[in-house]
Structure 1
Amino acid sequence: MPLIAVLPGDGIGPEVTTQARRVLEALNLDLQFEEAPVGGAGYLASGVPLPPETLALAKRADGVLFGAVGDPRFEALERRLRPEAALLALRRELGLFVNLRPATLFPGLEDASPLKPEVVDGLDIVIVRELIGDVYFGEKGRRTTQEGLRQGYDWMSYDEAEVERIAIVGFEMAKRRKRKLCSVDKANVLETSQLWRDVVNEVAVRYPEVALTHMYVDNAAMQLVRRPADFDVIVTGNLFGDILSDQASMCAGSIGMLPSASLADWSGANGMYEPIHGSAPDIAGQGKANPCAAILSAAMLLRHSLGEEACALRIEAAVAKALEAGARTPDLGGSLTTSEMGDAVLSALT
């Protein structure tokens, strides 16, 4: 019996993961669910954002359904005790170096995008983001300069092996789609990015069937607004991927629509699946959160960790059907509550 670790976390995390779990349970796949605290909830439970019991559960689970972390009540804590430290630690401990973030415009949501319908029409992107390197995991700290000024620093770095393995994922993903890969960097300024570009070019020799292009991150941000449908697969580093995937979410209508999968390899073992929207403490507990990203993350869990492609497609089709029928949460200009949106997806599923 497959074990799914449910880590609801903070803010709207518990609300959206509840709806995702309802959808998974409706498929009658004989799944076992076990829940544990993480983030601010983990700190309140045990004094650390990632309790040892939570990490142990994540390691033995077949897949992790993650909500969100972040709570303004804990912003004054030292960095290692803040809720966000739990997410970084889970990625590191599980070796989740691949982050897949699809951005698709569902039929009926053309008006929800801030872009003109003719600009956003056909949007279907996958951003392959490297997840356990870059400035997020590099040396960081504060020091005093010779002039007596406070200075903060964060070390950005990648070695060639780290770039090679994420580039391979990007090429493999592109090979399965439209055979177009755009590598995003800042090689005109950053030595880290120049190495990135050099290694991606070296890997490209193994994939002659994939058309590779390179783009500086500032230009990529502009083109995502100007002609988003021109992109197919984007591969990029941790920092740039974090920013561009949030931007892509708004092209698709709402950050509440984008799921993600974090993987250690293509097998999906111990994969972690989460909506990209964060904890949104300003609307927590109000029933305003859009659960679609969490539900679509559950579909990715079925696809990548459990090999249940047919069930994953059923969930994605149910979300599309509910949206096409007019089901909308406030972020999409509607009035359905979180649970009502879950009801709409469940109705479409059955």
Structure 2
Amino acid sequence: MKKIKLAVVPGDGIGVEVVPHALKVLDTIAEMHGGLSFEYEHFDYGCDYYLKHGDMMAEDGMDRLGQSDSVFLGAVGDASKVPDHISLWGLLLKIRREFELEINVRPAKVFKGIQSPLRNPKGFDLIVVRENSEGEYSSVGGRMYQGDNEIAIQNNVFSKRATKQAMEHAFRLAQSRRRHVTSATKSNGIFHSMPFWDEVFKETAAEYEGINTVSQHIDALAATFVTHPERYDVIVASNLFGDVLTDIGAGIMGSIGIAPSANLNLNGKHPSMFEPVHGSAPDIVGKSIANPIGQIWTAKLLLDHHGEEEMGRLLLDTMEQVTADGFLTPDVGGDKQTDEVVDALIRQLKAKV
């Protein structure tokens, strides 16, 4: 029996609502598999925890999370209770940094039954691989002086190791897909880091025969994401560029509520973390209308990561069958509640045994 130990952190807002539903789906998958089981350890880390204890997690929180095979996160943040810079740096970004989650993977595709805002989405199916540890989000820089003389300096940091690692992951993904990798760059405007990025991309591409490549400036790439997303297979991007592109990807799918992500540790020293893109959505908390697809699609990425690609494909296909049958929450034009979508999904999964 293969056992996957998950550290479950529902976190804040709708994370508390959708995570239990996703765990029910994972348990259903395990029952169908026969040789797979999940062991859950639940952690109440988040903004409510901060209000009680003055920290977003326990003092030994990272050690305890690190004993798992993967972290399954719901959402982080509630600005009405705790400032965002405290909640994010105290939980989400702390996990990303200390567990060396240097790769962020976010797929986007035309999802059956969900209307894309694009007039003709042309069946797009793409994956963005985002360098997740440095680049434009490096905490290097500072501020000095006051008044009209005040200045702020933010340094972008690009190491060859992390840059090449992200690109290699993108190429490996492309080998099992449509064998095309696009590099997001801006070497016509950013003088040092982006020419460096281009050089490493060219060097990496030479190591992967049979993969077609193109480098595209981020402004044109963002526009083409909207006008012709079907052109893309795998895109590799820096921390900031990948952040922007993945939100566009969620938008053209029809809702950020269905978008998943995986934060991957590649050196084997720490667990990877899986979280939906949608955040805590405080405006719909308690209304039972949160879209569970983002969290469940995230569970599919978790299955893939642990070598259960067949079950992952089955889960994604069943999700699309359910949405195509009209089980949609209000964010994607439906009138179903969270549990109605999940119950339909579980029924469809069990029907395939």
Aligned to 2:15: 13
Deviation string 1:276-311 (CA, Å, 9 cap, x unpaired) is 11111111221121010100111111110x322222
Change over 3 Å in CA distance of 1:254–1:58 after alignment to 2: same
Bigger Cα displacement from structure 2, 122-131 vs 24-33: 24-33
Q: Tell me the amino acid that sits aligned with residue 51 of structure 1.
A: A
CA–CA separation in structure 1 for the residues paired with 2:253 and 2:13:
23
**Match of 2:12, as an amino acid?**
D
* Structure 2 alignment gaps of length 5 or more: none
Q: Deviations over 1:244-286 (max 9, x none)?
A: 1010111112111111111112879611111111111111221
* Residue number in structure 2 paired with 1:170: 170
Call closer, same or farther: CA 1:15–1:150 in 2, change over 3 Å.
farther
The secondary structure found in structure 2 opposite 1:251 is: helix
Which residue number in structure 2 is paired with residue 38 of structure 1? 45
Aligned with residue 113 of structure 1, among 112, 116, 129 = 116
Amino acid at match of 1:102: P
Runs of 4+ in 1 over 6 A off after TM superposition: 266-269
CA contact under 8 A between 1:7 and 1:35: conserved in structure 2?
A: yes
Q: CA deviation at 1:74?
A: 4.4
2:25 aligned counterpart, secondary structure: helix
In the TM superposition, what is the alpha-carbon distance from 1:124 to its structure 2 partner?
A: 0.3
* Alignment partner, residue 319 of structure 1: 319
Matched, 1:104 2:104: no
By how many angstroms is 1:148 displaced?
4.6
**Is the 8 Å Cα contact of residues 97 and 133 (structure 2) preserved in structure 1?**
yes
Q: Is this contact kept in 2: 1:39–1:83, CA < 8 A? A: no
Q: Work out which of the residue numbers 3, 6, 23 in structure 2 matches 1:4.
A: 6
Quick one: which amino acid aligns to residue 48 of structure 1?
D
Residue aligning to 2:291: 290
The aligned residue for residue 219 of structure 1 is 220
Choose from 76, 87, 95 the match for 1:82. 87
Matches within 5 A, 1:130-149: 130-144=131-145, 148-149=148-149
Cα distance, 1:157 vs structure 2? 1.4
Change (3 A) 1:24 1:73: same
Distance 2:276 2:283 in 1: 17
Determine the C-alpha separation between the residues in 2 that align with 1:84 and 1:144. Answer: 26
Which residue in the other structure is 1:206 paired with?
A: 207
8 Å Cα contact 2:13/2:281 also seen in 1: yes
Using the size of structure 2 for normalisation, the TM-score is 0.91
Query: 1:86 Cα deviation (Å)?
Result: 1.5
SS of structure 2 residue aligned to 1:72: coil
Q: Deviations over 1:26-58 (max 9, x none)?
A: 223321111113332342343122333432232
Q: Secondary structure at the match of 1:52?
A: coil
1:94 paired to 2:94: no
In structure 1, C-alpha distance between the alignment counterparts of 2:89 and 2:290, rounded to whole Å: 20
- Unmatched segments (≥5 aa) in structure 1: none
CA distance in 1, matches of 2:176, 2:13: 36
Work out the CA distance in 2 between the residues paired with 1:282 and 1:231: 34
Q: 1:207 to 1:178 in 2, by over 3 A?
A: same
Change (3 A) 1:326 1:238: same
- How many residues are paired up? 342
1:56 aligns with 2:57: no
One-letter code aligned to 1:224 = F
Q: Give the corresponding residue for 1:156.
A: 156
Which stretch shows the higher mean deviation, 153-162 or 295-304?
A: 153-162
Question: Going by fraction, where is strand more abundant, 1 or 2?
Answer: 2
> Residues of 1 paired with 2:269 and 2:109: CA distance?
22
- 1:122-143 Cα distance to aligned partner (Å, 9 max, x none): 1100000011112323314432
Are 1:5 and 1:65, in contact at CA under 8 Å, matched by a contact in 2?
yes
Change (3 A) 1:3 1:45: farther
- State the Cα RMSD in Å: 1.9
What's the counterpart of residue 259 of structure 1?
Answer: 260
Distance 2:14 2:104 in 1: 21
Distance 2:281 2:197 in 1: 33
Post-superposition offset of 1:108: 2.3
Are the counterparts in 1 of residues 14 and 281 from structure 2 also a CA contact under 8 Å?
Answer: yes
Counterpart code for 1:179:
R
The one-letter code of the counterpart of 1:67 is: G
Contact between 1:40 and 1:83, CA under 8 Å: does it hold in 2?
A: no
CA deviations 1:149-193 (Å, max 9, x no partner) are 444432211011111111111111112111110000211121211
